[in-house]
Amino acid sequence: MIALKEIQEGMLGVAEKQGIYTEDNVNNLVKDIRKEIWEKRENALRYVAGNLLL
C-alpha cells in the first residue's frame, strides 16, 4: 500500500498538465484513443485483404 500511495502522490498534477480536468475529459480521451486504434486496425485489415486479392 505504501508504494501505491507514493505513486499516486507522484502523479498528482500530471493529468491537469495534459488538460484532463474532469471525468468527461477522461471519457473523451478514451473514445479518441479507441477510435484511432479501430481506424488503424481497419486500415491494416484492408491492406492485408487487398494484397491477398492480388
27: its cell numbers? 471519457
**What would the pLDDT profile of 21-54 be if each residue is shown by its tens digit?**
999 999 999 999 999 999 999 999 999 988 886 5
pTM of structure: 0.63
38-48 exposure pattern, b = at least 16 Cβ within 10 A, e = fewer? eeeeeeeeeee
Burial class from Cβ neighbours inside 10 Å (0-12, 13-18, 19+) for residue 19 reads: exposed
**What would the pLDDT profile of 45-54 be if each residue is shown by its tens digit?**
999 988 886 5
Which residue is it, cell 485489415?
Answer: 45
Q: Domain residues of the chain, as ranges?
A: 21-54
Higher pLDDT, 8 or 40: 40
